Amino acid sequence: MCPLKKPPFSGQFSVNNFDTFFIIKRIGGNDDNFSNVSPFLVEKAITGSVGTVTSTKLMRSGDLLVEVASRKQAQQILKLNSLSTIAISVQPHVTLNTSKGVITCGRLLNLSNEEITKELSGQGVKDVRRINIRRDGELMPTKHFILTFNTPRLPEYIKAGYVRCSVRPYIPNPLRCFKCQRFGHSKTNCRGTLTCARCAAAGHESTDCTAVTASTLLSLVPVLNGK
């Protein structure tokens, strides 16, 4: 008798996912962090509380970034309120426990983001954002959607009902600073020099720029010709 064939896998269900990255903060004064705490003490305290974890790193802020190896460790680390004699708080990392991907599906064009999120929640989708384009001064919805998953690893595809949709990595637009005009940081955190976005000279905003550009000269041609 031939063995029964397994049915096709309909969707990338993520019911077994759990948070793997956690931030451990010291509770106390404003300057309290783990920068001056013995790494031996930290390692022994974490191992003694939840077992051997995948990794522990000291962040620039002085907090600890811990990657756990199992669901049990994820549950245990959230219950910690101290490491040895150090009072702490533990929270899942805001972004490392999720991932974003893009799907294209015309069948979803007339559905709301809320309805799509609800229907795809069983496949690990926690948020849906539609990509809109501006046409003739108006925002127009497209058939492209940005999905946020509750796992660091993107699935190859999701099933929107009977429609199989491939998931592509979401690549956001590069962050640009409108103070120094460089990329990789925002105006709020900029330590660079104020630079004009119009003429690239330092020391003034583009709204105060008096430089003559090629477009300015072209606009003056009718005036210079007496028209």
Query: In three state form, how does the secondary structure of 98-133 look?
Result: CEEEEEECHHHCCCCHHHHHHHHHHHCEEEEEEEEE
SS3 content of the chain, % helix, strand, coil (to 5): 20, 30, 50
Mean local confidence (pLDDT), 161-168: 96
Q: Is 223 helix (H, G, I), strand (E, B) or coil?
A: helix
Distances (CA, A) of 70 to 1, 97, 154, 185: 40, 14, 19, 34
pLDDT in tens, 112-154: 999 999 999 999 999 999 999 999 889 999 999 999 999 888 9
Say how far apart CA 72 and CA 50 lie, in whole Å: 8
pLDDT in tens, 18-48: 899 999 999 986 678 999 999 999 999 999 9
pTM of the entire predicted model? 0.66
List the one residue out of 155, 76, 72, 141 whose CA is nearest residue 111: 141
Are residues 54 and 46 in contact, defined by beta-carbon separation less than 8 angstroms?
Answer: no
pLDDT of residue 112: 95
Say how far apart CA 219 and CA 121 lie, in whole Å: 54
Are residues 57 and 64 in contact, defined by beta-carbon separation less than 8 angstroms?
Answer: yes
pLDDT of residue 17: 76
pLDDT of residue 158: 95
Say how far apart CA 208 and CA 206 lie, in whole Å: 5
pLDDT of residue 6: 42
pLDDT in tens, 58-95: 999 999 999 999 999 999 999 999 999 999 999 999 89
Strands 168-169 and 99-104, by their bridges, are: antiparallel
Say how far apart CA 102 and CA 169 lie, in whole Å: 6
List the one residue out of 149, 104, 143 whose CA is nearest residue 127: 149
- Residue 180 scores a pLDDT above 60: yes
Q: Name which residue leads in pLDDT, 204 or 41.
A: 41
